[in-house]
Amino acid sequence: MLRTDLITIDPEITGGTPVFTGTRVPIQALFDYLGGDEPLTMFLYDFPTVSREQAEGVLKAAQEALLPPAFHVAPAQIDFSFTEKIPPREAAA
């Protein structure tokens, strides 16, 4: 069994499917909702046993797992000065 404050994986709970800790709601349900263009508020409404903090925590954990810190660039760190050297496009006839 694996249990954190966000996710529980236990063969005795939904056959070992990762769920939000303290619930029987699969983590996959959150990604299915968001992938289907449903807002987070709709997911939370449909699954009231999941707190906003849990859902946001899982999304943050997924972001950190998929995007290493090197990929997180603050806008001020990007140098756009090269765009000054690009000639303007001519209008299409």
Quick check: is 62 in a domain?
A: no
Quick check: is 26 in a domain?
A: yes
Of 60, 80, 81, the closest CA to residue 72 belongs to 60
Quick check: is 6 in a domain?
A: yes
The reported pLDDT for the residue numbered 77 is: 61
Per-residue confidence at 92, pLDDT binned at 50, 70, 90? low
Q: Provide the domain limits for residue 45.
A: 1-56
Quick check: is 67 in a domain?
A: no
Interhelix angle 52-66/27-35, nearest 10 degrees: 80
Quick check: is 11 in a domain?
A: yes
CATH number of 44's domain: 1.10.10.10
Counting the structural domains of the chain, the total is 1
Read off the pLDDT of each residue in 68-78 and give the average, rounded to a whole number.
66
